Structures are given as C-alpha cells and as structure tokens.
Chain A
Amino acid sequence: METSQALRQNNTDPTQGVDSITRRIFEALVDPPPQDIKSVFQKYLQPVIRDWGIQSAWNILSRLEVAWDFRKPTLGLYDNALHFIGGAQKYGCTLAAALQDMYDVTLIANSDVSSEQLEEWYNLDLSRCRIKVISLPFFEKREAHHGIYDAGLVDPNMDNPFHAISRESGNYDVFVNNCMLEMVYPLAPVSEFMVHFPEREISRFFHVGEYTHIMFNSRYTAQWIEKRWQQTPDVHIFPPVDMTSPNLPEVKENIILSVSRFELSGNKQQREMIKAFIRLKQLHPDLARGWKLLLVGGSVAHNPYLDRIRRLVKSYPAHEIQIEVNVPASDLEKFYQRAKIFWHFSGLKQSDPAKMEHFGMTTVEAMQNGCVPVVFNGGGQTEIVEDGGSGVLFGSQESLLENTVRLMQDSQEMHRLSLGAYRRGKDFTKEVFDQKVREHFSAILKSYKFQ
C-alpha cells in the first residue's frame, strides 16, 4: 500500500521515484531478520515492475549491489567513432583512463579497435578498461558507410537503429554517451551526455533530456545546447590538452604558426591566412622581412583544398611560407616551441555557429609552448585567450594585421604575452582534466551509494 502510494506520488518522474524506492529498500534492509529479505524485495519491486518497467527493477538491484559494496561500480562509455583518431575520442578515452580505478570501465564501440591502438593514439594507459564492440546492422548493410555510423543517415520513418546501444546502456551503473549521439536512450541509473557541439537538430529520436547530466566542453557549446536543444547543460569540463613544454622556450624564431586540419571545405581558412600574410609583407616589407608563415595540419590523401593552397604559395620561397602536412607529434611540438605567434582564423566571416571553433585545442597547445595566440574573437577561443593578458583576440583582418604588427615591433609586449599564454595554458592540462573528472564522478558515486 505504502509502496503504491509512493509510486503514484512520483509517477511523473520515474527517476526520482526509483531513487526513493531504492533508498527505502536500502534502509529497510539495514538490519533485517533473515526471513524478511524476500518480502521486502517483493513488496517494493512488484509495483516498480508494474508501473515503470523491468529496467527500473534491474537498476534498483544494481544500485543496491554497489551501495552494499558487493561489487565495483560499472561504467560504459560509448563512442560511435572510437575506431577513428579524433579530439572527441581523445576526450572520452582520457576520461575512461582517469576513472578506471574508480569504476569497471567498458568502452563501447561500433567497429573493431584495440586498447593498444587507443593507448598509442592518445598516449594513455587504458590497461584496466575493456572494449566491447556492438555492430549496428542498419549501418553494416549499407555498403557506402565507410565505417562511419552517421546518425544523419537515419530516416525518420524507420526504427531507431541505435537502440542496440540504448539496451546496452542498461547494463551499467553509469553510462557515458561521448559522441553526442542523441538517438541513444539511456537506461542506466546514472547517465552522462557529453556534448562537443550540438550539431544535429531535434528529431523524433532525440533523447538528450533523459540523461542525468549534460557535460560540455566550453561555454560556447553550452550556449548553443540551450539555444538549439532547449536543454540546460550542467557539467563543464574543458578538454585535456597536453603539449606543455617543461619551461617557457627562451629562444624563439620569427615564425607565425597555424595548426589546423586542411579541411576539404576550407573552414579553417588557411587560404585567408596566406592572403593576410602576403598583405602584411606588402604593407610592412621591412618589419616582416625574415618572418615566415608556417601552416601545419592533417589532411586526407586527396585534398583539392590543400592542392589549391599549394598552388597559391608556389611562387613564394619555403623560408617565407611553408606547408607541413600530417607531421608526427614530436615535430609538431618543435614547431610550437620555435614559433613566436600563433594564428587561428576559424569563425572569421562565418555565420554558421558550427563553423566557429567550439573550443580550440591547438590554441591551447600553442600557448603551452609560449606562442602568443592571435585568434578570432568568437566561439570557444574567447574562453581560452584573455585578450591582452595571454594573447590577442581579433574581429577583422585589419585588426589581425594591426595586432600582429604591434607584436612584431614590440618585443617586450611579445615576451609579456608569451609568458601570460604559457601560464594560462597550464589551466587546460590533463592533470586539471583528470581532477575535474574524478571530482564529478566520485560525487556521482557517493550519491549512488547513499553516502
């Protein structure tokens, strides 16, 4: 009777209802006579199954096991692109590595990938994590999917193909959706939805509102989650960036560096950088003499945009404009240490919010090596660079040139900003990330165990 009332009272929010029922069982069984255990479970679980479904009963039992320390809590982290190298995947794997002693961590992928590969790609220790591969028949059947489990291919009239993952999520105490796949319905008692940017529109398969927490990488992303999805994100953890030089490099060269992928769409605006650099040379030939523009970035094998860039710079000698593609991390680190200035144009003359930099990992990498960032005043960059303290924010090409010239002329200002950038860069290290992740997930665990 009492249980049915409790269920009715909480019927509008099953999560809170399940929470309160679990607590009642937990308290009822603190010191029970042995013959009562069964009846206590029966009394509470039957109405739960009847009103909220079998998954809620499963979740109650799972939570009690952890609350009474019968086993270690489990955490499942899903990423549909785990088999590819990427910033979001690095975020998820670093999170898993930070939590593998606190939880039994399983990385859920859709395609084969080994923990050795992940360890090598992201320089992490994932030795206590398991990997579980769940293939999705809808995508397997499509010959043209190229290993990409793209939610954009899902037709609104069909069944949700990601429910294989929804079902799997119910096997863990905590489920983390690391790839912003809003079509996965979380069944775990605690669920976390990580947003790197809300790129997709709301569809009939939109389940973000069902997650316990929405995590976000920058306030810029948070703002767009509210605008586009009408959801309130609540856990802010900047991505981990680990390129910190042990000391601020003392000897630097007259290099303006840019590190960005050479995207087929040209979103990172390397072409505009070349044009700006040429203009800088034309306007201030004496000052800019001896300065070089170094464009570094990854690229796919056949990249028409990169071909265009190469054609554009062919009349300039390599000591003036240099392009480096797919360089190893060790070389990249050296470039950061040598360069004085770091340029980043993403977002300039763009109206689409997705084309802004959502965070700006390469800007942080540059700062961690004392490069002075001169970056577009928009997106996540504004949260990294303190204008005039640890770098410069610009809003137009004129302002970019003006600020770059000022830095070239004033070595003291350059040194001051370089020091500021180096200091600020330390706020985004893996240690800071690990600490925030552990704080958040240990608070979850504490509440999960009724402590």
Chain B
Amino acid sequence: MRDDGLLKTEITKLKEEVGAERENIETIDGLVKKQIEREPGLWEYDFDGLGAEMWKRFQTLEKNSDCLSEEQYLPAQRFRAAFLRRLNKFYRVLTTPVSRAILDKKKQFNLDQQDLLNKENIPFFLAMILTLQKIKDRLNVLEEAVNKLGDELEDE
C-alpha cells in the first residue's frame, strides 16, 4: 500500500528546499539552465537605433577596407617588378614545400579579413534596407492621414 502521509510529508519537505533554492535564483535563464533570449536583431531597432548601428558598421568597414587595397606602382618600379616577379617565381618553385605552409596561413588571413568585411557589410545593408522600409511605412501613414483630411473636407 502507498503511504500517502509519508509521501505528502516528503514532498512538502522537498518543495520547501527546492522552493528556497528557486527563490535565490534571480534570472529566468538560471531557473531553466539555458539562455532564453538572444541579442536584439536589427529589425527590432527604431530609426535612431538603426542609424547608430549603420554608423558603427560603417566605421569598421572603412577601417578594414584599407588592408585589402592595392598598391600603386610607378613605370620604373613596374620594370623592376617584372624582373623581381620572375625571380620570385623561380624562388617560389624552389621553396614550394616550405612556403606552402606559410601561404596557407596567408590564405586563412585573407579569408578571415573577407569574413570580417562580410559580417559588417551584411548588417550595414540590412540596416539601410530597414531604414528605407521605415521611411516607406511613415509615408504610408502620412498618405493615409492626407486621405482622411481629404474625406473630412469632403464631408464639410
């Protein structure tokens, strides 16, 4: 036979313990042992928030775009460069096994740079699109208000 009295006492005691522990946990994340809320998405910002995000992204883009820009050469430098390129090529063939390891690192560096730019580029354009969308919404509201005013005048 199940001893209801004993079970009830045991559950009451446990609930008191668990309840006290529960009270001491301040966040919902702590209560359920997981992160329940993500970072805010761009689409949740208002006009000012979107503007701030765009400038933030733009600053990073401007700063990072320089490291990918090409160097400009003078004609004399170009002649020397052709010779140096050939020499370089010959040297590269000789040192391929060694340089491969180094070039892999360089390649990875370039990919990382590209990735960084993409990470900034995409939100930048998304923020711009969302801003345009919000401008469109505002225009729709204004248009509706103008129509209403027109109706009102017609009623008068």
Which residue of the partner chain B has the closest CB to A51? B33
Chain B, Cβ-Cβ closest to A169: B28
Q: Which residues of B contact A157 (CB under 8 A)?
A: 40, 49
Of B18-26, B54-62, B81-89, B113-121, the stretch lying at the interface with chain A is B18-26
Q: Which of A61-69, A126-134, A292-300, A433-441 contacts B (4 or more CB under 8 A)?
A: A61-69
Q: Which of A159-167, A242-250, A408-416 contacts B (4 or more CB under 8 A)?
A: A159-167
Contacts of A308 in B (CB 8 A): 152, 155
Across the A-B interface, how many residue pairs have beta carbons closer than 8 Å? 97
Interface size class of B (residues with CB under 8 A): 35 or more
Please report which residues of chain B, range 9-59, place their CB below 8 angstroms from some CB of chain A when the two chains form the complex. Answer: 10-11, 14-15, 18-19, 21-22, 25, 27-28, 30-34, 36-41, 43-45, 49
Which of chain A's residues have a CB closer than 8 A to the CB of B70?
Answer: none
B22 x A58 contact (CB < 8 A): yes
- A 15-34 binary contact with B (CB < 8 Å = 1; else 0): 00000000000000111101
Are A61 and B11 in touch, CB under 8 angstroms? Answer: yes
Max chain A C-beta neighbours (<10 A), residue from B3, B30, B37, B156: B37
A185 to chain B: which residues have CB within 8 Å?
Answer: 28, 36
Give A174-211 as 1s and 0s: 1 = Cβ < 8 Å from B's Cβ atoms: 00000000000101000000000000010111010010
On chain B, the residues within 8 Å of A316 by CB distance are: none
Complex interface: chain A residues within 8 A of B6 (CB): 34, 37
A240 within 8 A of B: no
Binding site for A on B (CB under 8 A): 1-4, 6-8, 10-11, 14-15, 18-19, 21-22, 25, 27-28, 30-34, 36-41, 43-45, 49, 148, 151-152, 155-156
Contacts A58-B22, A70-B7 aside, 20 further interface pairs with beta carbons under 8 A come to: A34-B3, A37-B6, A52-B32, A53-B30, A53-B33, A55-B32, A58-B18, A61-B14, A61-B18, A64-B11, A65-B15, A68-B8, A156-B44, A163-B27, A170-B22, A170-B31, A187-B28, A203-B40, A204-B40, A204-B41
16 interchain pairs (CB within 8 A)? Answer: A14-B32, A29-B7, A30-B2, A31-B1, A41-B10, A45-B14, A52-B33, A53-B30, A53-B31, A54-B18, A54-B25, A55-B31, A65-B15, A70-B8, A185-B28, A308-B152
